[in-house]
Amino acid sequence: MRAVIELKVKPKYRANYKNNYPLINKDAILNPEVLEREGDILHLVGENNQFFAKGYYGEQNKGIGWVLTHKKEEQIDFTFFKTKMVEAINKRQVFYEDKNTNAFRVFNGEGDGIGGLTIDYFAGFYLINWYSAGVYTFKDQVIRVLDDHVQYQAIYEKKRFDTKGTYMDDDDFVKGTRGEFPVIVKENGVNYAVYLNDGAMVGIFLDQRDVREAIRVKYAKGKKVLNTFSYTGAFSVAAALGGAKKTTSVDLAKRSKRKTAEQFSINGIADNKQDTIVMDVFDYFKYARRHNMKFDMVILDPPSFARSKKRTFRVAKDYPALIKDTISITEKNGIIIASTNNASLDMKKFRGFVANAFREMGEKYNILEEFSLPKDFHVDRNFPHGNYLKVLVVKKVD
Ligand code: SAH
């Protein structure tokens, strides 16, 4: 049985919870010492136990749980999960019906009413991400809704809640018929190889779908493309299919060579015009400058935080230098695609990074286009932090 815990909200945070702010922060609570077991139901109350909201206890790096409802009488039971999940599934009907795309997000955490839970669809497979031990206690309900309302070959899961809040290595199979990986998914007609039982990352980041499409359709033609932090080379594949003259993918991880070759091969692209280089991006920039190499398009999509043998990369601290390095190896009239998934860096600040970098380099630019999360990544308008993706398409001009 779940206990019901009353959490008293500090006066200055009460307005937030009255106004539908979904994340429960420890800082906002007067009596966090009463928290006991993850998955317990939390009632957020004010003075005289005035009810504001109801949620669950689940420790994440972001907070200690999520608000689920503002109705005091609403139970957090199977019907609750069914209502939220069916609503989310219905909102994705255009994706389910799209013949050219069969990989998309079905449920996006607080954006669909349940923080800490995401569900992605990959060509007949569902992948559930659990972001806390608390939300994991609702597993039976979530699986039952999938059983009742969608068809699948199998369900997989990622438990992203070890003590450091990261992925726990495990057999990620939940139920159904085990897949044979890679599963080849389609995105706007492009193939991508996906592995659902091989660690935290599956081979493709669905939130960049619109950016890959723009690269392929609008920006890549005839260009010499450098894709940094390239992972499995998804942006390089999009560029090559869009008619790029050549792509160079740079990633520190050794696996990137084999993974990128696979993405090219399942799209029938010969790899004689595609390079994959296993190297620290910062070293590659030095190398490129030393050899006077220039590119017509450079894609920058670093992780928010990464530790390598030599250095620790933090977006807020290191992105400006990254853009400056990029400017120095981009041709005049070349394009820089700058992306960040750092929630605490908003678009205005990110644009500021670009502006400063160009000013310091004595170069001019235009912003051609901006992207944020695609339609299937619903954002809760009361939680702008959830709108974490920011992408700028920048042209270096005379
Ligand atoms: N842009 C990719 C996703 C990047 S994931 C895509 O759209 O699919 C982040 C990648 O950055 C990982 O593959 C990691 O190995 C790589 N990485 C982290 N630090 C790096 C560094 N200093 N140099 C090169 N690659 C790095």
> Which residue among 210, 229, 255, 342 has the greatest number of ligand 1 atoms within 8 angstroms of its CB, and so is best to mutate?
229
Model pLDDT, residue 200 = 94
Q: What is the pLDDT of residue 35?
A: 97
Q: What is the number of the ligand 1 atom nearest to the C-alpha of 231?
A: 13
Residue nearest to ligand 1 atom 15, measured at CA? 253
Measure 58 CA to ligand 1 centroid, in angstroms.
29
Is there an atom of ligand 1 within 6 Å of 350 CB?
no
Nearest to 192 by CA among 174, 175, 166, 213: 213
Cis omega (within 30 of 0) on the bond before 182? yes
The alpha carbon of residue 31 and the mean position of all alpha carbons in its chain are separated, in whole angstroms, by 33
Return the closest-CA partner of residue 319 out of 335, 302, 294: 302
pLDDT at 317: 84
Q: Whose CA is nearest to atom 18 of ligand 1?
A: 306
Alpha helices in 216-336 (DSSP H): 234-241, 255-265, 281-290, 315-328
Ligand 1 centroid to residue 252 C-alpha, Å = 7
Q: 253 CB under 6 A from ligand 1?
A: yes
Residue to probe by mutation, ligand 1, list 212, 235, 251, 298, most atoms within 8 Å of CB: 251
Q: Which residues of the chain have pLDDT under 50?
A: none
Q: Which class for 304: exposed (0-12), middle (13-18), buried (19 or more C-beta within 10 A)?
A: middle
Ligand 1 contact, 207 CB (< 6 A): no
Delineate the domains of the chain, giving CATH numbers in brackets. 4-69 (2.30.130.10), 78-188 (3.30.750.80), 205-397 (3.40.50.150)
**Ligand 1 contact, 251 CB (< 6 A):** yes
Tens of pLDDT, residues 10-24:
999 999 999 999 999
Report the pLDDT value the prediction gives residue 55, as an integer from 0 to 100. 98
Q: Is 312 in the pocket of ligand 1 (CB under 6 A)?
A: no
Tell how many helices (H) and how many strands (E) occur in the chain. Answer: 11, 21
The answer to whether the CB of 357 falls within 8 A of the CB of 323 is yes
The CA-based angle 203-209-210, given to 5 degrees, is 160
Ligand 1 pocket member 280 (CB < 6 A): yes
Which are the contacts of 154, defined by CB distance < 8 A and separation ≥ 6? 124, 125, 126, 173, 174, 175, 176, 177, 178, 179
Q: pTM of the full predicted structure? A: 0.97
Measure 230 CA to ligand 1 centroid, in angstroms.
5
215 φ/ψ angles, rounded to the nearest 5 degrees: -60, -45
* 357 ligand 1 Cβ < 6 A: no
Beta bridge partners of 249: 227, 276
